[in-house]
């Protein structure tokens, strides 16, 4: 029952999509007449139209991110208005809304489907006057276009820049693996090319010895896509208008209507409390960086110095450099070791299979338990020019039972941007990369492990946005434990296991400069949330960010830094007035980790319960309810400070 991955016909795709959407509309109109017959006759086949659409559209949206080209862009952009109009028409279909209100549930899962559907109908403006509905439809269409344009501008700007270094002194002391990837030829002479792609950019910012070149690279990175400034203003205007059309005072209230946080005040208080706890640690950490920089004659530590001196400080205080870990983390071995660990932790087996893929570097595994294959996962882990930056999990098929009683398995993609392998060198990961892989795998498990029958609340569907990071953050914590690392940390040349001392340093590095890292994330989260509590335009956006930097940044960024132009999470992703979710969910993940791991051993009874109550339940009940069913209590906020060593 797995859908084989197939490259779409880009030229015909919008037309084919149009036909599918028309078929779905006709199916749904017929189903409305069956609402009186109950859930099985109406809701279940209705959900199946969404699965059918995802199976068709997801390959294109996925390829537009991982094999971006003019063809994918053109097909994708032509499809967005069709999808937006379709979903808007559905969400404002009064007959469909009334049909859902008539249906009675037979199980708690079905009750949750109906609760969420009726809520979402109301939030889409189904019961608004005609003119308001029409305007809302226009706004939703325009927002989808602007989100895509923001993302495309960012990708284009990232790909357009390169820094060519000709003097060997300017790369002196840099890791050989980074130099090998940057090495190029210009007029018969060896040069080094650095770009704004994450692995390349971070390599020079962390190890590049020439301060002027670090600033040049930093300035290029933090001023990418200036055309996004106008897009931001329009996005904010439209979001504010949308909220008011739906009778909310501002967009943050609309955002929270589908999340687990109770109200604006709770979010802001939560973030401010964490900021107050992190601030003294962040200031002390920054002072240590300044002292180190002064030894090099730098009296004014700047943002473009932070990664460089953080690495030097780590070497000085911990005798540790994340680059040291590369030889022990060969990508293929890390992947296999992680799968073996996850398999033992949760009682599943990952079997590699040969199936159609979009790039020859992609690896595919099927998940088996008790002799049953129940999931498939695709790993696309290496950076390339056609792939947008960052790392993510993208769901494709969703586990559910259809109207014929047939079980459907789940499938998902895990995408990263790790250093690519070459003819001379395999893809070698820093420990940070290992953590990223575990994080995205946590998301995938949440989707793939689902045993929920109802598609709309199966896997990651129906999970409140501010707790969706919980399973990913939970799993990444294990990537710091020696017992887990020993499964795959083997030197790629000598075959030696990870030395005890290096494993200890990795664990200690987890909370190195944790106060500064926490302050940075809280700056982003508060900026996002406050930005959506009233309408900000033009210079007001920068002034808000500057005010937060004045309070929260232990090292103030230069005035030219326009971080917001590249803040794709909130202007091209789903995190608008929701970036706080990372910390909100991390309370759950920290508390859950300490419940499952006592510092020496994994408590199997608890991990079994975590799988049963959290991973297999998807969005079938509010996360707080599932958490209480698992541990019999609420998550403890102090667990987050304990995780980062910021307690007391």
The residue ranges of every structural domain in the chain are 13-127, 161-222, 327-510
Q: What is the largest CA-CA distance in the chain?
A: 79
CA 608 from centroid of its chain's CA atoms: 26
The dihedral built from the CA positions of residue 94, 95, 99 and 100, taken in this order, carries a sign that is: negative
What is the DSSP annotation of 500-564?
A: HHHHHHHHHHTTTTHHHHHHHHHHHHHHHHHHTTS---THHHHHHHHHHHHHH-SSPPPTT--GG
Token pair 């040049």: residue:
216
pLDDT range class, residue 179, cuts 50, 70, 90: very high
User: Can you count the helices (H) and strands (E) in the chain?
Assistant: 25, 10
Return the CA Rg of the chain. 25
Helices (H), ranges, 175-227? 176-182, 198-207, 211-222
- By annotation, the residues acting in catalysis are 440
Instruction: Say what the pLDDT of residue 157 is.
Output: 96
Range 192-219 burial, b when 16+ CB lie within 10 A, else e:
bebbbbbbbbebbbbbbebeebbeebbe
Q: What is the pLDDT of residues 396-455, one digit of tens each?
A: 999 999 999 999 999 999 999 999 988 888 999 999 999 999 999 999 999 999 999 999
pLDDT range class, residue 44, cuts 50, 70, 90: very high
Q: What is the pLDDT of residues 472-499, one digit of tens each?
A: 999 999 999 999 999 999 999 999 999 9
Token pair 């009064």: residue:
94
Instruction: Say what the pLDDT of residue 88 is.
Output: 85
Q: Which residues face 428 on adjacent strands? A: 330
State both tokens at 354.
Answer: 């040969």
Per the CB < 8 A criterion, the answer to whether 572 and 453 are in contact is no
Q: Which residues face 192 on adjacent strands? A: 165, 183
Q: Is 298 helix (H, G, I), strand (E, B) or coil?
A: coil
Cα distance between residue 270 and residue 581, in whole Å: 11
State both tokens at 106.
Answer: 């037979």
Mean pLDDT of the chain: 95
Q: Which residues face 350 on adjacent strands? A: 367
* DSSP one-letter code for 420: P
Enumerate residues 6+ apart whose C-beta is below 8 A from 157: 196, 224, 225
- Would you say domain 13-127 falls under CATH 1.20.1050.40? yes
Instruction: Say what the pLDDT of residue 177 is.
Output: 83
Class for domain 327-510, per CATH? Answer: mainly alpha
Q: Which residues face 353 on adjacent strands? A: 364
CA 206 from centroid of its chain's CA atoms: 23
Q: Is 393 exposed, middle or buried (0-12, 13-18, 19+ CB in 10 A)?
A: buried
Q: What is the pLDDT of residues 340-365, one digit of tens each?
A: 999 999 999 999 999 999 999 999 99
Phi-psi region of 153 (alpha: psi -120 to 50; beta: other; left: phi over 0): alpha
First and final CA of the chain: distance in angstroms?
A: 53
Instruction: Say what the pLDDT of residue 648 is.
Output: 61
Per the CB < 8 A criterion, the answer to whether 607 and 345 are in contact is yes
Residue 197: CA count within 13 A, CB half-sphere: 23
- The predicted model gives 186-193 an average pLDDT of 91
Cα distance between residue 305 and residue 302, in whole Å: 5
pTM more than 0.75? yes
Instruction: Say what the pLDDT of residue 311 is.
Output: 92
Q: Do domains 13-127 and 327-510 have the same CATH topology?
A: no
Instruction: Say what the pLDDT of residue 188 is.
Output: 87
Q: Is 407 helix (H, G, I), strand (E, B) or coil?
A: strand
Cα distance between residue 378 and residue 360, in whole Å: 12
Cα distance between residue 25 and residue 51, in whole Å: 14
pLDDT range class, residue 92, cuts 50, 70, 90: confident
Residue of 268, 451, 253 lying closest to 369 (CA atoms): 451
- The predicted model gives 34-51 an average pLDDT of 96
Range 471-508 burial, b when 16+ CB lie within 10 A, else e:
bbbbbbbbbbbeebbebbbbebeeeeebeeebbebbee
State both tokens at 301.
Answer: 């530590």
pLDDT range class, residue 524, cuts 50, 70, 90: very high
If one counts every other C-beta atom within 10 angstroms of the C-beta of residue 71, the result is: 17
More confident residue, 86 or 599: 86
If one counts every other C-beta atom within 10 angstroms of the C-beta of residue 527, the result is: 22
CA 59 from centroid of its chain's CA atoms: 18
Query: Strand 372-382 and strand 349-353: pairing?
Result: unpaired
Q: Please report, for residues 3, 29, 363, the alpha-carbon distance to residue 356 in angstroms, rounded to integers and kept in the order given.
A: 10, 36, 10
Q: What is the pLDDT of residues 195-212, one digit of tens each?
A: 999 889 999 999 999 999
Cα distance between residue 42 and residue 501, in whole Å: 61
Q: Is 578 exposed, middle or buried (0-12, 13-18, 19+ CB in 10 A)?
A: buried
Cα distance between residue 182 and residue 57, in whole Å: 36
Cα distance between residue 129 and residue 76, in whole Å: 32
Question: What beta strand segments (E) does 509-585 contain?
Answer: none
State both tokens at 465.
Answer: 């946005």
Per the CB < 8 A criterion, the answer to whether 350 and 365 are in contact is yes
Q: What is the pLDDT of residues 257-302, one digit of tens each?
A: 999 999 999 999 999 999 999 999 999 999 999 999 999 999 999 9
Residue of 66, 33, 11 lying closest to 416 (CA atoms): 66
């Amino acid at each position: 029952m797995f859908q084989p991955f197939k490259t779409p016909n880009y030229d015909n795709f919008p037309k084919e999509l149009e036909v599918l959407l028309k078929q779905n509309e006709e199916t749904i109109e017929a189903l409305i007449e069956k609402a009186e017959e109950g859930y099985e006759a109406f809701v279940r086949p209705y959900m199946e139209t969404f699965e059918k659409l995802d199976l068709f559209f997801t390959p294109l949206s996925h390829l537009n991110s991982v094999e971006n080209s003019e063809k994918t862009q053109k097909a994708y952009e032509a499809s967005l208005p069709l999808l937006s109009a379709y979903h808007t028409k559905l969400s404002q279909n009064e007959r469909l809304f009334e049909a859902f209100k008539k249906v009675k549930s037979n199980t708690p899962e079905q009750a949750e489907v109906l609760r969420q559907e009726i809520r979402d109908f109301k939030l889409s403006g189904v019961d608004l006057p005609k003119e308001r509905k029409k305007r809302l439809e226009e706004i939703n269409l325009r927002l989808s276009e602007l989100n895509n344009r923001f993302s495309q501008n960012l990708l284009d700007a990232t790909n357009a820049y390169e820094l060519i270094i000709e003097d060997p002194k300017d790369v002196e002391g840099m890791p050989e693996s980074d130099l090998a990837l940057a090495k190029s030829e210009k007029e018969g002479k060896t040069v080094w090319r650095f770009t704004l792609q994450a692995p390349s950019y971070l390599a020079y910012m962390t190890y590049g010895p020439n301060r002027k070149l670090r600033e040049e690279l930093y300035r290029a990175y933090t001023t990418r896509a200036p055309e996004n400034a106008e897009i931001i203003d329009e996005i904010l205007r439209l979001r504010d208008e949308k909220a008011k059309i739906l009778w909310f005072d501002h967009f943050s209230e609309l955002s929270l209507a589908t999340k687990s946080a109770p109200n604006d005040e709770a979010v802001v208080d939560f973030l401010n409390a964490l900021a107050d706890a992190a601030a003294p640690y962040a200031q002390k950490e920054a002072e240590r960086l300044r002292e180190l920089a002064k030894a090099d004659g730098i009296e004014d530590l700047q943002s473009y110095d932070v990664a460089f001196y953080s690495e030097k400080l780590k070497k000085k205080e911990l005798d540790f450099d994340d680059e040291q870990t590369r030889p022990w983390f060969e990508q293929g071995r890390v992947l296999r070791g992680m799968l073996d660990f996850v398999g033992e932790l949760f009682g599943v087996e990952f079997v590699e299979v040969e199936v159609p893929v979009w790039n020859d570097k992609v690896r595919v595994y099927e998940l088996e338990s008790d002799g049953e294959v129940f999931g498939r996962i695709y790993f696309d882990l290496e950076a390339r020019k056609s792939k947008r930056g960052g790392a993510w999990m993208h769901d494709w098929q969703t586990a559910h039972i259809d109207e014929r009683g047939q079980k459907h398995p789940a499938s998902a993609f895990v995408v990263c941007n790790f250093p690519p392998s070459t003819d001379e060198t395999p893809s070698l990961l820093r420990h940070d990369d290992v953590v990223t892989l575990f994080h995205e795998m946590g998301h995938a498990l949440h989707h793939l492990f689902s045993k929920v029958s109802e598609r709309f609340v199966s896997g990651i569907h129906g999970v409140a946005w501010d707790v969706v990071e919980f399973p990913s953050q939970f799993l990444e914590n294990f990537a710091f434990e020696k017992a887990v690392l020993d499964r795959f940390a083997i030197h790629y040349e000598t075959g030696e296991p990870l030395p005890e001392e290096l494993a200890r340093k990795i664990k200690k590095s987890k909370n190195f400069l944790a106060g500064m890292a926490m302050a940075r994330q809280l700056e982003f989260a508060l900026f996002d949330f406050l930005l959506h509590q009233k309408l900000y335009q033009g210079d007001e956006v920068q002034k808000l960010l500057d005010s937060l930097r004045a309070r929260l940044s232990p090292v103030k960024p230069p005035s030219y830094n326009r971080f917001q132009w590249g803040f794709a999470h909130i202007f091209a992703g789903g995190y608008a007035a929701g970036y706080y979710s990372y910390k909100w969910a991390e309370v759950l993940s920290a508390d859950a980790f300490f419940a499952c791991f006592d510092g020496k051993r994994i408590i199997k009874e608890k991990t079994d319960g975590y799988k049963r109550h959290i991973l297999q339940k998807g969005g079938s009940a509010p996360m707080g309810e599932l958490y209480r069913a698992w541990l019999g209590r609420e998550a403890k906020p102090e667990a987050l400070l304990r995780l980062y060593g910021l307690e007391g």
